[in-house]
Structure 1
Amino acid sequence: MKNNVALHDFIVNNTDSLTNAWFQTKKGKEGSIYSSTAPVIGDKLRLQNKKFITTIAQIFINIDTESNYEAIKQWASDVAKDRVSTNTELKEIISQFKVFRQIYWNKINEFALQSTNSITPEKLLTWSNLFHYAFDNVIEEFVATYTAYHQAALLAQQEMISELSSPIIKLTNEISVLPLIGSIDTQRAKIIMESSLQQCQEKNVECLVIDLSGVPIVDTMVANQLFIVVSALELIGVKSIMTGVRPEVAQTAVHLGLDFSKITIYSTLEKALENLENYTKNRKPNSR
């Protein structure tokens, strides 16, 4: 145990040396957090690396294995989240792990070769097993956490893009247009419904024109989802008008048994807008 404590102290006392060795060898493309052109980010990397060094060093003196790996997992989780926020590619991160693993192990070897320590081959092998097992755990936890955070970030971006692609544009105090452009899948259909209901309530929309002329394909799923959107809007008192409905869309609706008879449909948005004046004139006062 005496040698283990001595190794731990040797590593901790050499955190600056280990980090400097990494900084001298690491290479990052322009704009990467690993490049040499961002001193503020460099300071953060130094702090994270020093924390990593001391966290790994604990495995040589702390017999509580579970406690050791909880600390390792926490470091991996914190740094993975940070790397996702800086849009750092996982391939680039793993490459840096590979570089620093060798730097760290070389420092352990340096300690073992000092004549005053009398480290046996058996002891060095034990340290090797501890070190590489801990390092592998860091990488495994890092990759799992990075992937989870990255997927969550992508999903949030996709949802934001979908919401922005479903804007309700006010024409008058009561009438608005929802121009739908691009493909519609199940996820986007759900967002369209949620966004439409919310925007219609916020903008006090009485009549919503849903224009489908920019949707390239309206299959069975899309037609059914649109029917659900219209039905939901009706429940909050919003009259729906559909435009840009092509013959194949109508056929799909018929095959599904969807009743669009209560929905006013025009072939083009232009024709709908021409007739909206009549709707405004003929609507009942206080109809909502």
Structure 2
Amino acid sequence: MIGLSLVLQEGKEITEFLEKHKEEVEENLLTEADKVRDKIAEIQVIGNINLVENAHRLIGYVVNQETEELIAFAEQEGIVWAKYSMTLTFKLDWVHAIRRTLWSFLYQYDKSLNKSENREEFYSTERTVNEHIDLFLNNFFISYSTFKDKLLEREKSLVENLSVQIIPINISTAIFPLIGAIDDSRSETIEDKVLEEVSRGRIETLIIDLSGVAQMEADVTHHLLKVIDGISLMGCKAIITGMRAEIASKMVKEGLSFRDKAEVRGNLQQAISANLVGEN
């Protein structure tokens, strides 16, 4: 008879054994995965994932030592689980249940050979099986984490872009209300978005309202001054309104000022009146 490690190298005999006992494998798997069992139908609905069929796929890749296919499958699974924000502990419990189930049936298969135990062969088999399952888990988690990072970056970019809204009030004048805390990352988004919108909309006067900004660091102020320089080069006049006393005080201490680069008004209403009615 062929030894177990050799069967794992060739794959065919053990695969046939597992296929013959497919229902028993599934029953054993569901018993082992008691925490996941009740979630199988829910996971199928959420992510169109058939956990049982996928378990058979993973076992097949492990038994046949199909490393490339196993890695590709792990990466695919990682993306799906990340995309639908499914609980990682369920996946971990499920894969551990697959590992225990596979070992249970490898033991049954080995017994069916009626061959005396070969310790060297057993440990070789153990290493092969566990290395492949661990390889699946490692690639799954890397894929999951990578997809999540990209998703978070896209969401962050979307939020930043949505937070930079330029509101036209007539054909040549627009208001740019700044709201909330502004860090270096958001400053860069503001700079790019404002220059793009001024150019696209052919805005001649941009009212930058700071009444919604609680604090502004020196680096952020420099970014805003660069924005004003940029729109000035495109023939757009900048008007600053709504600056809080604490921000003005901080700018004075740091030797910074908007007055040389932009018109400054006390509030948004004054700026709108001056530009729409022509008051000075």
Does TM, scored on the shorter chain, surpass 0.5?
A: yes
Write the distance in 2 (CA, Å) between the matches of 1:174 and 1:273. 12
Q: Aligned residue for 2:56?
A: 50
- Residues 1:124 and 2:129 are matched in the alignment: no
Matched to 2:99, the amino acid is: R
Write the distance in 2 (CA, Å) between the matches of 1:19 and 1:236. 69
Q: Aligned residue for 1:73?
A: 71
Q: TM-score, structure 2 length as denominator? A: 0.83
- Counterparts in 2 of 1:214 and 1:35: CA distance versus 1, 3 Å: farther
- Residues 1:276 and 2:279 are matched in the alignment: no
- Kept in 2, the 8 Å contact 1:178–1:210? The answer is yes
The 5-angstrom pairing of residues 221-232 of structure 1 reads 221-232=219-230
Q: Shift in Å at residue 150 of structure 1?
A: 0.8
Q: Shift in Å at residue 28 of structure 1?
A: 5.0
Write the distance in 2 (CA, Å) between the matches of 1:183 and 1:11. 62
Higher-RCO chain (CA-CA 8 Å, sequence separation at least 6) = 2
Q: Aligned residue for 1:9?
A: 12
- Kept in 2, the 8 Å contact 1:207–1:238? The answer is yes
- Kept in 1, the 8 Å contact 2:35–2:93? The answer is no
- Kept in 2, the 8 Å contact 1:11–1:54? The answer is no
- Kept in 2, the 8 Å contact 1:181–1:215? The answer is yes
1:244 to 237, 242, 245: 242
Q: Shift in Å at residue 270 of structure 1?
A: 1.7
- Counterparts in 2 of 1:239 and 1:26: CA distance versus 1, 3 Å: farther
Q: Aligned residue for 2:139?
A: 141
The 5-angstrom pairing of residues 155-234 of structure 1 reads 155-234=153-232
Q: Shift in Å at residue 91 of structure 1?
A: 3.4
- Counterparts in 2 of 1:52 and 1:185: CA distance versus 1, 3 Å: same
Matched to 2:262, the amino acid is: I
Q: Shift in Å at residue 113 of structure 1?
A: 2.2
Residue 212 of structure 1 aligns to a residue whose secondary structure is strand
Write the distance in 1 (CA, Å) between the matches of 2:121 and 2:190. 63
Q: Shift in Å at residue 131 of structure 1?
A: 1.0
Write the distance in 1 (CA, Å) between the matches of 2:269 and 2:14. 74
Q: Shift in Å at residue 278 of structure 1?
A: 4.8
Write the distance in 1 (CA, Å) between the matches of 2:74 and 2:104. 22
Matched to 1:144, the amino acid is: I
- Residues 1:36 and 2:41 are matched in the alignment: yes
Q: Aligned residue for 1:265?
A: 264
Q: Shift in Å at residue 186 of structure 1?
A: 1.2
Which runs of 5 or more residues in structure 2 are unaligned? none
Write the distance in 1 (CA, Å) between the matches of 2:237 and 2:89. 52
Q: Shift in Å at residue 137 of structure 1?
A: 1.9
- Kept in 2, the 8 Å contact 1:36–1:42? The answer is no
Identity, % of aligned pairs?
A: 22
Could you say what the CA RMSD is over the residues aligned between the two structures, in angstroms?
Answer: 2.9
Instruction: Give deviations 1:51-86, integer Å, cap 9, x for gaps.
Output: 322221222xxxxxxxx5433322221211111111
- Kept in 1, the 8 Å contact 2:239–2:264? The answer is yes
- Kept in 2, the 8 Å contact 1:209–1:243? The answer is yes
Which runs of 5 or more residues in structure 1 are unaligned? 60-67, 283-288
Write the distance in 2 (CA, Å) between the matches of 1:38 and 1:72. 21
The 5-angstrom pairing of residues 77-88 of structure 1 reads 77-88=75-86
Matched to 2:206, the amino acid is: L
- Counterparts in 2 of 1:26 and 1:210: CA distance versus 1, 3 Å: farther
- Kept in 1, the 8 Å contact 2:174–2:206? The answer is yes
- Kept in 1, the 8 Å contact 2:44–2:51? The answer is no
Q: Aligned residue for 2:97?
A: 99
- Kept in 2, the 8 Å contact 1:112–1:118? The answer is no
Write the distance in 1 (CA, Å) between the matches of 2:49 and 2:64. 23
